[in-house]
C-alpha cells in the first residue's frame, strides 16, 4: 500500500471523520500536533478528510444511486465516482445557465404565446 492510499484510508476512517466533524464545532480539538508549517502530507490528508466527509454526508442523504459505501472504500472506484460527479455538476450547471439565458430571452421579448423555444449558440465570426 502506498502512502497516498494509507492517508486516504486514515481520512475515511470513523475515528478521523469523528475528530474532523467535532473539530468544526469545538475549538479545543486540534487535528495535528503542529499548528503551523503544515506538511504536504497533512494538506493531502485534510483535503481527503473534507472529500470523504462530503461523500459520507451525500451517502446518508441518498443523493446519488451510484454512490455506495463500497465505492467510498475503494480508492479506484472513488476516483471514478468523483470524476463522474464533477462532470455531472458541470453538466447541470451548464443546463441551469442555458435555462437562465432562455428565461432572460423570453422576458426580454415578452412572448405572448409560449411555444417551444430553444437556445442555440451561433458563431457570427469576429466582432
Partner 1 sequence: MKPEVFQDILNESNFLNAELIQDNKFHFYHEGGVYRVRMPKQKELSEVNKAKNSFYVELLKTPNALSKDNLKKLLKESQGIDIEVMELELKELEESLYKVYLDLAGKKDANEEGIQKCKDKVSEINDKRFKLIEKISSYLTPSIEVQIENHYMEQLASICTDKLENSEKEEWKKVWNSFEEFMNDESTLRLYAVSLLAKLMMGVNA
Find how far residue 35's CA is from the centre of its chain. 27
As given in the structure block, the three cell numbers for residue 64 are 446519488
Q: Which residue has the cell 446518508?
A: 60
- Contact residues: partner 1, CB under 8 A: 1-3, 6-7, 10, 32-34, 37-45, 66, 68, 70-71, 76-77, 79-81, 83-85, 87
Q: How far is the CB of 83 from partner 1 (least distance, A)?
A: 4
Q: Smaller CB distance to partner 1: residue 37 or 114? A: 37
Smaller CB separation from partner 1, 28 or 112 = 28
- Nearest partner of 89 among 54, 52, 125, 115, judged by Cα: 54
The residue among 40 and 125 lying less far from partner 1, judged by its C-beta, is 40
Cβ of residue 117: shortest distance to partner 1, in angstroms? 31
For partner 1, the closer of residues 80 and 102 by Cβ is: 80
Q: How far apart are CB 30 and partner 1 at their closest, in Å?
A: 11
| Spacing of C-alpha 52 from chain mean position | 10
Residue with cell 463522474: 84
Q: How far is the CB of 11 from partner 1 (least distance, A)?
A: 9
Q: How many Cβ atoms sit within 10 Å of the Cβ of residue 114?
A: 7
Residue 80: alpha-carbon gap to chain centroid: 13
Amino acid at each position: 500500500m502506498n502512502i497516498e492510499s494509507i492517508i486516504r484510508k486514515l481520512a475515511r476512517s470513523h475515528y478521523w471523520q469523528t475528530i474532523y466533524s467535532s473539530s468544526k464545532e469545538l475549538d479545543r480539538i486540534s487535528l495535528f500536533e503542529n499548528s503551523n508549517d503544515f506538511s504536504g502530507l497533512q494538506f493531502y490528508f485534510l483535503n481527503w478528510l473534507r472529500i470523504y466527509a462530503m461523500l459520507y454526508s451525500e451517502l446518508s442523504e441518498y443523493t446519488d444511486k451510484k454512490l455506495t459505501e463500497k465505492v467510498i472504500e475503494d480508492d479506484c472506484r472513488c476516483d471514478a465516482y468523483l470524476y463522474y460527479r464533477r462532470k455531472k455538476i458541470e453538466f447541470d450547471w451548464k443546463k441551469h445557465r442555458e435555462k437562465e439565458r432562455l428565461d432572460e430571452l423570453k422576458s426580454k421579448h415578452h412572448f405572448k404565446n409560449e411555444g417551444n423555444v430553444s437556445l442555440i449558440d451561433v458563431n457570427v465570426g469576429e466582432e
